[in-house]
Chain A
Amino acid sequence: MTEKPVAVLALYPSAQALLDAVPRVRERGLGRLEAYTPFPVHGLDEALGLKRSPLGAMVFGMGILGAFLALVFQWWTSAVDYPVRIGGKALFSWQAFVPIMFEVMVLLAAFTAGLGMLFLLNRLPWFGHPILHTRAIAAITRDRFALAIEADGGELDVEAAREALAAAGGEAVEVVHAYTAPEGKRTVFPWREVAGVLVACIVAGVVTFYGIRLFPVLPPMGHMEVQNKAVAFRGMRSPVAGTVARGHLPLPVADVGEADAVLVNPLPRTPETLARGRLRYEQSCELCHGPLGQGKTALSEAYQAQPANLQSATIRDYGDGRLFYVVSYGFSNMPGYAVDLSVDDRWAAVHYVRALQRSQNAREEDLP
């Protein structure tokens, strides 16, 4: 024990004895006084001259901040970034935002109260605190009350402190030294064990991840995606056997190859048809194929998808019938749109796709 003593500590049998001892030791002015008790003792803060905890103001501030942040966030998402009108209500309908403001206020305030108290004000966790390594700590957490004179930066007069504590009725006076970890161990906190648990978690995660990849015990969950596969002319329920739903006559074509030969666009190419086709294109096609049909959108990038480029030479050479067939039945990853778009809507969309193609490959006579 070559280090300087940091505190002298004595045990008292009851809260009353501790409280009686505090003023007697305090008037000697030997250092910073600190009491260690198994439970909060009434009147001890005043006897030690401790200030009120600032926690109330912190919690109040964070609560207000939480409510404010929740309001701003809900306003920004609902009225600015993603304005969707729901139930005919104003985009910034603050009344509906109150419950979440309240919850976020409580959440922030409670975390400030709990974690702020532990980590900020009390500076926990502190596994190397000298008091934790005294003989007295077992009694302190059980039923004894300790008073300590601590060095507080300056020199500690050990003999005077010892005498003052004993004179005030203290027993088992103990000189406390700064904590030094035993040989081969740096701190009392079991870093090695915690690190071991972390490494074990990571190893287990990696093994599980690649284990499942290499040995697929679980088959790919294809059966759960049934609802996503659009079966043409069928909604969630099968039609009554032997009937055809109105507006859903089957196409007289068995194969995509025959489509051009059999199907002819019945709609005239008028401004009204093009407007209708444009509307349907924007609603159903544009999300993947893009506004100009080039097959490049933010969505296709995000999902690594490759929607067809409608401006490509191949597709420009397709006949109207073939385009109509693909819109109806789908192609590759693209689902059929027969359920969403009526026959005329699909033909109008085909007209609009032709117009789009022409717009990007204009001939000289197209110029006015």
Chain B
Amino acid sequence: MSHEAVLQALEPMPLVEGEVTPASLDDQVLAFPERKPPRAWFIAFAVTSAIFLVGVALIGYSFYRGVGVWGNNSPVFWGFPIVNFVFWVGIGHAGTLISAILFIFRKRWRNAIARFAEAMTLFALACAAIFPLIHVGRPWFAYWLFPYPNERALWVNFRSPLLWDVFAVSTYFSVSLLFWYLGMVPDLASMRERTRSKFRRFFYTVFSLGWRGSSRNWRHFEKAYLLLAGLATGLVLSVHSVVSFDFAVSVVPGWHMTIFPPYFVTGAIFAGFAMVVLVLAPVRRIMNLTNLITMHHLEVMNKVILAMACLMGYSYFMEGFTAWYSQNIFIHHIFARYVTGPYGWAGILTLTCNVLIPQLLWVRRFRRSIPVMIFVSVAVTVGMWFERFVIFLVSLHQDFLPSSWGFYKPTLVDYGILLGSFGLFFTLVLLFARMLPVIATTEVKVDLPGSQPVHQHPGDHHD
């Protein structure tokens, strides 16, 4: 590579394409709620909400008939619900990673995609919450999971990873919601001032809390945002670690491994980024945001996906090595089952989708090609779902005693509820895209060319 090429590669990438001013940004992004959605939006909404309703109906059927209509049975009591739960919680991780960790590292390209990714975190967690709730069979008693003084004089068992999970996921949801809302307050204030509809003005007035952009308010706001980003960074790493404790703390062969927490966090970020690319690639085109969410953004995200794919490959390898090195016949047996036997196809599919297919992204042309990145993201989403399927179900279906072995087969109801959760996710994404600022305009304005003072006064700090 020549000297010039190196220098060119080191140039900071432009965050926006073409001329974007604060005013044009507002007119472009904040105008969506003011316009009537195109017909395609209504069609998409009808389809996704119909899929969601199928899921709702099947959940209702499960309650009416009992959870026996699912494939869960001895010895695999944790069937689809746990797979789907971990899958959706994982999807949620990209949002917090983008909004918090990349903020701490001052990766300014995150600003354009942070809002959408954070919203996807919340929607993914809403989907994830369905599954443990329906899996307990009597979701109207779900509040028993929380320690509250009760007439039974009982307390929950704080030594159980399942309880840690309750705390981790509910904290994660609360903090993500707060973070998302906090960043949106100044944007809502902008929308409050520009809307002409009386109803929307009421809505934005209430939720923007009378934000007026005073410098004394900004001073606290920026500090709060930074602190929240720091807290969310610890949280995002802890949540999937705690989810992995559900498995790693048990003594089931294939689960009882120290690599589980980092391995789960990597997988979560991997799956989450794939989902963000999968949603943003079409959204930026349909909503005409290509000048704000540029090809550079997508390329950087694809690089993250590639790095995570390599880490996943390393994790799989390390997991296999640990299993072999254990000299334990039960662990050897389970690991052989991952890629052979009746579920072997799922293990092979996982490795193909998560490690092999993302290697396409080494090629710059593929990183910048919409069809290829959508193909890779779909592959990663499928692969990460099957990864959880393999880890959870294969370990359970054959344990220490061959007499208690069994075979797990999901039923149509299982598939329907999984499909319904996708319907819920995309329904919420569609609503979000039309009702709220899809891009954090305030954060993008901060870094637009020429928006900050060039020369500062003595005693000022420099960024």
**Which residues of A are in contact with B by a Cβ distance under 8 Å?**
14-16, 18-19, 23, 34-48, 50, 53, 55-56, 59, 63, 73-74, 77-78, 81-82, 84, 86-87, 89, 93, 96-97, 99-100, 102-104, 106-107, 109-111, 113-118, 121-122, 124-129, 131-132, 137-138, 140-143, 188-190, 193-194, 224, 298, 302-303
- Nearest chain B CB to A220 CB, angstrom units: 13
- Nearest chain B CB to A71 CB, angstrom units: 10
CB nearest neighbor in B for A17: B453
Hey, what's the 0/1 contact readout for B202-214 against A, CB within 8 Å counting as 1?
A: 1001100111111
What 7 A-B pairs are tightest by C-beta distance, nearest first?
A143-B22, A117-B224, A77-B155, A125-B209, A53-B223, A96-B159, A35-B215
Q: Which residues of A contact B211 (CB under 8 A)?
A: 124, 141
**In the complex where A45-B215, A96-B158, A140-B212 touch, is A40 in contact with B221 (Cβ < 8 A)?**
yes
Q: Which residues of A contact B147 (CB under 8 A)?
A: 73, 77
Q: Which residues of B contact A37 (CB under 8 A)?
A: 213, 215, 218
Q: Which residues of A contact B442 (CB under 8 A)?
A: 38-39
Q: Does B421 contact A (CB under 8 A)?
A: no
Q: Are A113 and B153 in contact (CB under 8 A)?
A: no
Q: Which residues of B contact A111 (CB under 8 A)?
A: 174, 178
With the chains together, A190 CA to B199 CA distance in Å?
Answer: 11
With the chains together, A116 CA to B178 CA distance in Å?
Answer: 12
**In the complex where A42-B463, A73-B147 touch, is A102 in contact with B218 (Cβ < 8 A)?**
no
Q: Are B164 and A100 in contact (CB under 8 A)?
A: yes
Q: Are B159 and A114 in contact (CB under 8 A)?
A: no
- Nearest chain A CB to B16 CB, angstrom units: 15
Q: Are B228 and A110 in contact (CB under 8 A)?
A: yes
Q: Are B205 and A131 in contact (CB under 8 A)?
A: no
Q: Which residues of A contact B457 (CB under 8 A)?
A: 19, 23, 43, 46-47
**In the complex where A56-B227, A114-B224, A137-B212 touch, is A86 in contact with B167 (Cβ < 8 A)?**
no
Query: CB < 8 Å: which of A74, A129, A302, A303 contacts B210?
Result: A129
Q: Are A131 and B220 in contact (CB under 8 A)?
A: no
With the chains together, A84 CA to B155 CA distance in Å?
Answer: 10
Name 10 extra pairs, CB < 8 A, besides A42-B463, A142-B193, A188-B205.
Answer: A34-B216, A38-B22, A41-B453, A55-B227, A56-B223, A87-B159, A110-B174, A124-B209, A127-B205, A190-B202
* Pairs across A and B, CB under 8 Å, 15 listed: A34-B214, A36-B212, A36-B213, A39-B445, A42-B456, A48-B215, A55-B224, A73-B147, A99-B168, A100-B167, A103-B235, A110-B174, A110-B232, A113-B228, A142-B23
With the chains together, A73 CA to B147 CA distance in Å?
Answer: 10
Name the residue among A15, A106, A118 with the largest chain B CB count within 10 angstroms.
A106
Q: Are A55 and B215 in contact (CB under 8 A)?
A: no
Q: Does B163 contact A (CB under 8 A)?
A: yes
Q: Which of B419-463 contact A (CB under 8 A)?
A: 442-443, 445-446, 450-457, 459-461, 463
**In the complex where A110-B178, A141-B193 touch, is A189 in contact with B463 (Cβ < 8 A)?**
no
Q: Which residues of B contact A45 (CB under 8 A)?
A: 215, 219
Q: Which residues of B contact A14 (CB under 8 A)?
A: 450-451
Q: Are B224 and A104 in contact (CB under 8 A)?
A: no
CB nearest neighbor in B for A120: B220
Q: Which residues of B contact A43 (CB under 8 A)?
A: 453, 456-457, 460-461
Query: CB < 8 Å: which of A50, A114, A194, A298 contacts B178?
Result: A114
Binds A, one of B6-14, B112-120, B183-191, B383-391: B183-191
**Which residues of B are in contact with A by a Cβ distance under 8 Å?**
21-23, 26, 66, 138, 147, 151, 153-159, 161, 163-164, 167-168, 171, 174-175, 178-179, 181-182, 185-186, 189-190, 192-194, 202, 205-206, 209-224, 227-228, 231-232, 234-235, 238, 242, 245, 442-443, 445-446, 450-457, 459-461, 463
CB nearest neighbor in B for A63: B231
- Nearest chain A CB to B121 CB, angstrom units: 14
With the chains together, A119 CA to B132 CA distance in Å?
Answer: 34
Q: Are B238 and A102 in contact (CB under 8 A)?
A: yes
Q: Which residues of B contact A103 (CB under 8 A)?
A: 164, 167-168, 171, 235, 238, 242
With the chains together, A86 CA to B445 CA distance in Å?
Answer: 55
With the chains together, A326 CA to B192 CA distance in Å?
Answer: 71
Q: Which residues of B contact A189 (CB under 8 A)?
A: 205-206
Q: Are B182 and A114 in contact (CB under 8 A)?
A: yes
Q: How many contacts between A and B, using CB within 8 angstroms? A: 233
**In the complex where A37-B218, A42-B453 touch, is A99 in contact with B212 (Cβ < 8 A)?**
no
Q: Are B202 and A55 in contact (CB under 8 A)?
A: no
- Nearest chain B CB to A193 CB, angstrom units: 6
Q: Are A100 and B220 in contact (CB under 8 A)?
A: no
- Nearest chain A CB to B265 CB, angstrom units: 14
Name the residue among B179, B216, B445 with the largest chain A CB count within 10 angstroms.
B216
Q: Are B452 and A15 in contact (CB under 8 A)?
A: yes
With the chains together, A114 CA to B147 CA distance in Å?
Answer: 25
- Nearest chain A CB to B252 CB, angstrom units: 15
CB nearest neighbor in A for B159: A96
CB nearest neighbor in B for A35: B215
With the chains together, A142 CA to B158 CA distance in Å?
Answer: 50
With the chains together, A103 CA to B234 CA distance in Å?
Answer: 10
Q: Are A39 and B212 in contact (CB under 8 A)?
A: no
Q: Are A138 and B193 in contact (CB under 8 A)?
A: yes
Q: Which residues of A contact B179 (CB under 8 A)?
A: 110, 114
Q: Are A34 and B215 in contact (CB under 8 A)?
A: yes
Q: Are A99 and B167 in contact (CB under 8 A)?
A: yes
Q: Are A82 and B155 in contact (CB under 8 A)?
A: yes
Q: Are B221 and A122 in contact (CB under 8 A)?
A: yes
Q: Which residues of B contact A110 (CB under 8 A)?
A: 174-175, 178-179, 228, 231-232, 235
Q: Which residues of B contact A40 (CB under 8 A)?
A: 218, 221-222, 446
CB nearest neighbor in A for B235: A106
**In the complex where A19-B457, A55-B220, A110-B228 touch, is A190 in contact with B206 (Cβ < 8 A)?**
yes
With the chains together, A47 CA to B138 CA distance in Å?
Answer: 60
- Nearest chain B CB to A342 CB, angstrom units: 26
Q: Which residues of A contact B26 (CB under 8 A)?
A: 142-143
Q: Are A107 and B206 in contact (CB under 8 A)?
A: no
**In the complex where A96-B158, A99-B238, A99-B245 touch, is A44 in contact with B182 (Cβ < 8 A)?**
no
CB nearest neighbor in A for B227: A113
With the chains together, A171 CA to B224 CA distance in Å?
Answer: 32
- Nearest chain B CB to A288 CB, angstrom units: 14
Q: Which residues of A contact B210 (CB under 8 A)?
A: 124-129, 132
Q: Are A193 and B227 in contact (CB under 8 A)?
A: no
CB nearest neighbor in B for A128: B210
Q: Which residues of B contact A46 (CB under 8 A)?
A: 457, 459-461
CB nearest neighbor in B for A96: B159
CB nearest neighbor in B for A50: B219
With the chains together, A104 CA to B213 CA distance in Å?
Answer: 31
Q: Are A89 and B190 in contact (CB under 8 A)?
A: no
With the chains together, A104 CA to B151 CA distance in Å?
Answer: 25
With the chains together, A23 CA to B202 CA distance in Å?
Answer: 38
- Nearest chain B CB to A73 CB, angstrom units: 7
Name the residue among B167, B238, B450 with the largest chain A CB count within 10 angstroms.
B167
CB nearest neighbor in A for B217: A122
Q: Are B159 and A86 in contact (CB under 8 A)?
A: yes
- Nearest chain B CB to A329 CB, angstrom units: 26
With the chains together, A239 CA to B164 CA distance in Å?
Answer: 40
Q: Which residues of A contact B202 (CB under 8 A)?
A: 190, 193
- Nearest chain A CB to B368 CB, angstrom units: 30
